[in-house]
Structure 1
């Protein structure tokens, strides 16, 4: 049985043109769509907010869940720009923990480092190992972070309780104080495990505590569970395992920091002073931090990198800026091929993959292999004359200007601030 033909309304091109005409004359002006159908104050989607809503893991590599309906969850802002709203994260409360896991953080300069967040994530694995995993406080443990500063910044990292050390301890290198505080906390709280970052400072404190308390230290943990702790040995060809000991140090980049969680980080008041027992520890006479030449550090170890690309021609200013900032100098492949910097200073997939805290790039366009080398960088600052350069798109802060003009200006500003 045949279907009747569908009736379609005819379109009058003259009428449509007249509806779109806003200015007649020798050169008429036309709208892209009829005025009657034009949308006023149309809400736009914010791509950054959409990516943030879909982000489920930041480190060691960002992972996104695009199945989330971020478009339907958005709310319009005051300016009419569509911003995707992130659903509220429920607060996880461990009211009566069955046991405690201490996370002794470095917190250099008062800032929570990625390594500190990884230590908290490892402690979270031990604390949640005996619970139902839902944060109900039944049968599980609680993570107690110990560092200078408040615990507000540690709530989203997985901290249930926080013990604040005196702020002055962050400036002076006195490992006896932190070791004595750890021993005092072990006596007062009787934790099941105590975790340290496997760093220069954290490893030093952990070994002092182990020697004084007579406890075995399992260093460089790379895999952790309630019943087993593992680490790589023999160049990564062998795995060493042991039941989790009381004292352990956590290797860098072995655990992904937690994301999408919110705990209490409630301040924990102690009746006993944290410096009790400091006199029984061996002391260092005249200990201080030695100044290190930034260019003597390898690119994989430094936290601040000043990098140059093909857009840099004033190499004298580049060297002076690196000295003024205290940054490790590096460059793109073009710069190293030209002989301006040694080959071991090359950043990229064919050079060194860096994970610095800050990467300041001058005159780098942003080739794919170079962008692969800075995937793990936390903050990128780019200076380039091309507004549409890939490095500008990757950067958290961009300066669209000539590198030869910006570098001397930064040097003058740094020297003025120091004299002031």
Structure 2
């Protein structure tokens, strides 16, 4: 006799739409009403697999509503359809931003927009990268990848990148170019590229900027307070974040191609119209506390579990992190309101978010939903922040921060002896 067992944590997450893991446990909608008032039915969601392993179709939807969603099934990533294009009819080139050497959320949106342009036309979505060793193009939706890291040096050199892109234009003759409309990288490079194509006499070279949607074969661009601009799809598109849904149902080949080996274009040849004299002087040091919290790449956030606030501020200075806080820490007066993270404060998109002594209220978890990596330091192994974190340290936050500063060679005065005493007590226990 089989006993149906229910995971109470999964059930609470499924019933609470505000829970950060609600989408993992929510059952797929099998019937809904469209905006036109027409009832739609998802045929893939109808039915269930019986004890003999055969899928039975039940158009009433009763089996869908009755079947529980186990945590193992919900956490497993669904299988993606493999897409291979051997002989593409053309190319749609995407130039991703690649913050910190990996695909960001904006980059994935760009590939989603390119897939809307390519699907149904036998076109290959080709990614251009100026960094070597970047992964994830297969799941992002790239059919081809052109690695220009060997021809363009690292650092700020827009003219060299522009010359390489013009060589790619001569080799592949793409139907569309997709850039991120973000300064100073994709927005500047895309506008330079469109201006150079116009100078060469290319048709429809004027870029479509601030693109946020593709609708019926035309693009919609944000125009501030004015009405959105509707125009035909240009050759050069500069798209905003969330311009399209990222690719989630298909997996692509991401085949590496070497344009220099084909002999169609010389990627090392300099553009005759390229002016010389651009010198990269390196990055300018910026105080992390002056960076807006919504744009900070590295945030060290504190909650009620922090008692040594001087040690916390010292750790933030040593690590070069922007300071954040939970609502409780702000209400207690330890941090200013502008540093509050969460749905009632600031939504952050940091590459690394370290939560020290934060239990993880729903509003706080909503505010860090788009952070790439979350590290939790907490004494409570069952708190929601530990469950959300990619890496969790079950320890006292003050002691961990003091140990990190000491390991980096910048201990706060008087911290070294107290940390070593606590470490010896912990080892003895």
Bin the TM-score by the shorter chain.
Answer: 0.7 to 0.9
CA distance in 2, matches of 1:391, 1:381: 9
Q: Determine if the alignment matches structure 1 residue 224 to structure 2 residue 219.
A: no
State the shift of 1:63 in Å. 6.9
Classify 1:182/1:221 alpha carbon distance in 2 versus 1 (closer, same or farther; 3 Å). Answer: same
State the shift of 1:284 in Å. 5.0
CA distance in 2, matches of 1:404, 1:392: 17
State the shift of 1:268 in Å. 1.5
State the shift of 1:264 in Å. 1.0
Could you tell me which residue of structure 1 aligns to residue 137 of structure 2? Answer: 154
Classify 1:256/1:356 alpha carbon distance in 2 versus 1 (closer, same or farther; 3 Å). Answer: farther
Classify 1:370/1:284 alpha carbon distance in 2 versus 1 (closer, same or farther; 3 Å). Answer: farther
Q: Determine if the alignment matches structure 1 residue 277 to structure 2 residue 273.
A: no
* Among 155, 161, 171, the residue aligned to 1:172: 155
The TM-score with structure 2 as length reference comes to 0.73
Q: Determine if the alignment matches structure 1 residue 267 to structure 2 residue 256.
A: yes
Could you tell me which residue of structure 2 aligns to residue 26 of structure 1? Answer: none
CA distance in 2, matches of 1:412, 1:167: 39
Classify 1:177/1:352 alpha carbon distance in 2 versus 1 (closer, same or farther; 3 Å). Answer: same
Q: Determine if the alignment matches structure 1 residue 211 to structure 2 residue 195.
A: yes
Classify 1:151/1:384 alpha carbon distance in 2 versus 1 (closer, same or farther; 3 Å). Answer: closer
State the shift of 1:257 in Å. 1.7
Could you tell me which residue of structure 2 aligns to residue 12 of structure 1? Answer: none
Q: Determine if the alignment matches structure 1 residue 341 to structure 2 residue 335.
A: yes
Query: Residues 2-401 of structure 1: matches in 2 within 5 Å?
Result: 62=23, 66-67=27-28, 84=73, 88-128=79-119, 131=120, 139-147=121-129, 148-149=131-132, 153-166=136-149, 169=152, 171-199=154-182, 200-214=184-198, 215-225=205-215, 227-235=217-225, 238-270=227-259, 271=263, 272-283=265-276, 285-287=278-280, 288-401=282-395
State the shift of 1:195 in Å. 0.7
For the residue of structure 1 that corresponds to 2:252, the secondary structure is coil
For the residue of structure 1 that corresponds to 2:185, the secondary structure is helix
Classify 1:394/1:150 alpha carbon distance in 2 versus 1 (closer, same or farther; 3 Å). Answer: closer
Query: Residues 395-410 of structure 1: matches in 2 within 5 Å?
Result: 395-410=389-404
For the residue of structure 2 that corresponds to 1:351, the secondary structure is coil
CA distance in 2, matches of 1:277, 1:226: 39
Task: Point out the more displaced range, 183-192 or 151-160.
Answer: 151-160
Gaps of 5+ in 1: 1-36, 52-58, 74-81, 132-138
CA-atom RMSD, angstroms?
A: 3.3
State the shift of 1:295 in Å. 1.3
For the residue of structure 1 that corresponds to 2:166, the secondary structure is helix
CA distance in 2, matches of 1:370, 1:414: 29
State the shift of 1:167 in Å. 5.4
The TM-score with structure 1 as length reference comes to 0.74
State the shift of 1:406 in Å. 0.4
State the shift of 1:313 in Å. 1.9
How many equivalent pairs are there? 350
Classify 1:307/1:231 alpha carbon distance in 2 versus 1 (closer, same or farther; 3 Å). Answer: same
CA contact (8 A) 1:306 1:322 kept: yes
State the shift of 1:291 in Å. 2.2
State the shift of 1:185 in Å. 0.9
CA contact (8 A) 2:81 2:249 kept: no
CA contact (8 A) 2:294 2:348 kept: yes
Gaps of 5+ in 2: 14-19, 29-44, 54-70, 199-204, 411-429
